Structure 1
Amino acid sequence: MKKEEIINAFLKVVPVLKDMLLDDIAVSVADTTKVLYYRAGDTLDIKVNVGDKLSPGEPLYEAIKDGKTYSSTISKEFYGVPFKGVSYPIKDSDGNVIGGVGIGKSLSNEIKVEEASENLFASLEETSASIEEISAGSEKLLNVITNILEITKQAKKQIEESNQIIAMITNLASKSNLLGLNASIEAARSGEYGKGFSVVANEIRKLAQLSNQSSEKVSQSLSETNKYIRNIFKVISDAQSISEGQAASTQEMTATLEEITASAQTLTEISKTK
């Protein structure tokens, strides 16, 4: 094929590359001295015009001069969009370079995917740390609850002892009433000379002493019960603090999950544009 035919063949194929590849690419075709065709991408425009002379240092110029394919990645500082460029020399049937094709592919989506993936990974790490914190808090809460149960058992035991003592006092009071009744009857029978009244009176005093001792025991038992109850309140307060900490961790985890959702949505939107 003649030089012109080969160049014309490329000029017919290159314009439809963008539509065929369904990607954001800029393409150009040149002979050995100037640009013959240029089409910008959706966002990528390297500011080339048909008829522009090729200059030393330009990738397409170097590819044509050296007869080699060159590729490079260009940052967004130059054209506003990061892209990967490939410059390919066109050769005739004898291997002589007669021109070149330049293709620039925008890397915007790839960078977005990379950034979204990095954010997703960081968010997952934060979520993992939050879950570990919640797990540790749950273990502490379990220990607190166990302590509550143990203290509650002790308080229950103290209350049971108090009930036994109260029952004792009730029984003693009943006996005191009965003896008092007997003393009254005896006194009625014997008048002021009744000796039995003295015995009954002594028994009543003994029972009164026992009642006093029992009351003291009740007081001590109730005091112990009150102490255990205070301990229960303290433990419950600690449990509340832990629960509040867990709630804060849960809120942080929720915020992190929202970031994960946003990143996933970004990835989904990008995949739909591919």
Structure 2
Amino acid sequence: MHPRLELYHRHLGTIQELFFEGAALLLADTETVLESLPSEKIHFKIKGMTIDRFKDSVSYKALMTGLPVKEERGPEAFGFPYYSKAVPIFDEDGKTAVGVIAAITTNETVSKLREEATHLSAVVEEMTAMTVQITEGSKDLSEEVKGFAAVSHSMAEDIKQVHKALEFVQEIANQSNLLGLNAAIEAARAGEAGKGFSVVAQEIRKMADVSKETSGQIRELLKSIQSSTDRFGKLVQSISRNTDSQAGSLAELNKAFEQIAMTADNLANQG
């Protein structure tokens, strides 16, 4: 055994202890596997076998190229995914490879983390799409609420105009009532000749009373409508504020989802 390989062979157990999750180690010269140490999960009995039987391994590739080689493999060989890395061992001149040392360690934790991260990324993408859709809906709702607010304001202005018209009708009724009263007085003074005119005066006063009573009823109805319109306007303003606030919150939530998705992608792509 080459002195350099003998040194590695003597300390192979100590080297194995450097791996946190444990690793199976292999030491070989240019022809034969000199030693193989199993780990808790990885067991292989290849000591004494020729190295050319493992041409697809990192050990053979490192020995042939003179360069470190690492690979990540699936569960085909051991029933679970694993990492393997091999480093050539050189003679004192640093140019001639006299052997190779390799380590194989399980990749179950990282593989599981990748799977979960990939799943999380997919879920976050769906949630992001939903928040975008809800945000757009909130914007549309906000615009519609603003339209309601404009209608409410217009209704309030129209009611003000009706109030003004009613005041005018009320004034006419008062004037008509006064005119009817004056006509009745003049008819009474005219005696027998003013009887016909007296009948007309009474009808004018009745019409004035009816107009006054009706305008009062309309005014009360308008007050009720005005109150309802005011409440509607306040409700619309409250909804508008809430939809604007929700749109802002959803935008922040969407940013958070994007950050989570980015983190999940980074985890899924960890090598």
Which TM-score band (shorter chain)? 0.5 to 0.7
User: Is the 8 Å Cα contact of residues 34 and 47 (structure 2) preserved in structure 1?
Assistant: yes
Rounded Cα–Cα distance in structure 2 between residues aligned with 1:168 and 1:112: 83
Determine the C-alpha separation between the residues in 2 that align with 1:186 and 1:80. 120
- What's the offset of the Cα at 1:144? 1.3
Match of 1:11 in 2: 9
The percentage of aligned residue pairs carrying the same residue is: 20
What SS does the corresponding residue of 1:76 show, helix, strand or coil? Answer: coil
Structure 1 stretch 165-174 or stretch 203-212: which is displaced more? Answer: 203-212
Of residues 26, 29, 32 in structure 2, which corresponds to 1:28?
A: 26
Shift, 1:146, TM fit: 2.4
The one-letter code matched in structure 2 to 1:78 is: A
Contact 1:179-1:204 within 8 A present in 2 as well:
no
Could you tell me how far apart the structure 1 residues matched to 2:99 and 2:208 are? 124
Residue in structure 1 matched with residue 161 of structure 2 by the alignment: 161
User: Is there any run of 5+ residues in structure 1 with no aligned partner, and where?
Assistant: none
Per-residue deviation, residues 188-228 of structure 1 (Å, max 9, x unmatched): 5554x042x5445435646739977xx79x7xxx8xx89xx
Q: CA deviation at 1:124?
A: 5.4
Query: Is 1:53 matched with 2:49?
Result: yes
Change in CA separation of 1:34 and 1:200 when aligned onto 2, cut-off 3 Å? same
Q: Report the Cα distance in structure 2 between the residues aligned to 1:159 and 1:77, rounded to whole angstroms.
A: 82
1:91–1:97 Cα contact (<8 Å) kept: yes
Distance 1:106 1:134 in 2: 44
Report the Cα distance in structure 2 between the residues aligned to 1:64 and 1:184, rounded to whole angstroms. Answer: 128
When residues 185 and 85 of structure 1 are mapped into structure 2, their CA distance, relative to the original with a 3 A threshold, is: same
2:84 equivalent in structure 1:
85
Which residue matches 1:149? 149
**1:28–1:206 CA distance, 2 compared to 1 (3 A):** same
Local SS of the residue matching 2:49: coil
CA distance, structure 1, for counterparts of residue 201 and residue 188 of structure 2: 18
1:73 correspondence with 2:62: no
CA RMSD of aligned residues (A): 5.0
Relative to structure 1, the CA distance from residue 89 to residue 147 in structure 2 (aligned partners, 3 Å threshold; closer, same or farther) is closer
Q: Secondary structure at the match of 1:73?
A: strand
The 1:64/1:206 distance shift into structure 2, 3 A limit, reads closer
* Higher mean displacement: 158-167 or 108-117: 108-117
Per the normalisation by structure 1, the TM-score is 0.59
Give the TM-score of the pair, scaled to structure 2: 0.59
Deviation at 1:159, TM superposition (A): 1.4
For the residues of structure 2 that align with 1:61 and 1:184, how far apart are their CA atoms? 128
